[in-house]
Amino acid sequence: MSYLAVIAPSLSLDIISKDNIEKAVHFFESRCGLKVKFMPNCRDNASIQARLDDLHAAFSDPSVKAIFTVIGGFSANELLPFIDYELIRRNKKIFCGFSDITVLANAITFMTGMVTFSGPHFSTMAMQLGNLVTEEAVCNLLNFENNFENVKITLTPCEFYRDDPWYIDNTANDQSVLIPNPGHVVINRGSTARGKLCGGNLAAFSLLRGTEYYIPDSELDTIILFFEWCDEYKANLEIFTQQMHAVMQSIGKNRCVGLLIGRFERSSGITMDHLSDLTHNLIRCEYIKPDCPVIANLDFGHTYPMYIMPIGGDCEITASGDIIVSHDAF
């Protein structure tokens, strides 16, 4: 029997309704063929040590094939100094989550060389409407028959998306929550770029600046960044701009070779014109070169459905705006 372990590095399972837990369990067990194993401390607002114990136990357990986080939150970075990265290096397996989990996923990749995945939480898979693209991506990710050799995916825009609080009422019948997707928006076409992916939620990723868990110097000249944003601030545009400049300053001038930006929630008020102005300022400050491709409105972040982005995987952005991600981590 192979298992999918559920851990709670940030907020715990007790904020997820029983109905949504059952829906998510049904998806993983019926569609992916993995038995769901809830780690002992994932149901409580646990201590740092308890959350660490679950993380280490999930990686150590040979019957666990994948680890998904319950949901995001605000406290995953508390774990970073205490993680046994060598244990993880010896027991590589799928690790997936987004939002606050960005700090864990990137730190694990930078410290161990293991590809991690910015993608849905365990709870995300309770969604009953508008999540087909995510479901297919998760099923493909958890298909162990190909052993992850030479996985290559072209990121194709979904037809519709949703940015409502689906977890409050996910009865799956209200088609009005589906919003037509205008597709990828090329902010700066640039030239073909190839590099290693890193990123996730910009606010969470920014917490890694200046720490030992940040992008290794040896990789800074081949980085393609991808960022998304959660509409939880009153000054979304100002703080997003601030954090983007802070990350670019930490990387250094003209070192980022490509920039991918996820879809914003409509309530954020951030528009493509805002991103165009931001891009021009990044070029003016020499944080990115004029030929650095910048593409926005991609299907990742706090709207649904979402791509699964391999942190530490390879990415190619073509001159025509195609985006191809790949990994062969396992």
For the annotated catalytic residues, the residue numbers are 99, 228, 302
- Kindly report the number of other CB atoms within 10 A of residue 56's CB atom: 17
Looking at residue 113, its amino acid is G
Percent of the chain that is helix, strand, coil (3-state, to 5): 35, 25, 40
Strand partners, 161: 179
Looking up tokens 């991600």, which residue turns up? 325
Q: Name the residue type at position 91.
A: N
Q: End-to-end alpha-carbon separation of the chain, Å? A: 20
The structure tokens listed for 318 are: 């073509």
Residue 260, by phi and psi: left (phi above 0), alpha (psi -120 to 50) or beta? beta
> Rounded to whole angstroms, what are the CA distances from 238 to 232, 245, 280?
13, 11, 16
CA 74 – CA 126 distance, rounded (Å): 22
**Spatial distance between the Cα atoms of 24 and 22, rounded to a whole number of angstroms:** 5
Residue 77 near residue 52, CB atoms below 8 Å: no
Distance (Å) of CA 262 to CA 4, 12, 50, 74, 201: 27, 25, 33, 20, 9
Q: What angle is formed at CA 109 by the lines to CA 219 and CA 189, rounded to 5 degrees?
A: 50
| β-strands 64-69, 3-7 pairing | parallel
Q: Which amino acid is at 49?
A: Q
Q: In Å, what is the CA distance from 151 to each residue of 32, 86, 326, 330?
A: 18, 25, 5, 10
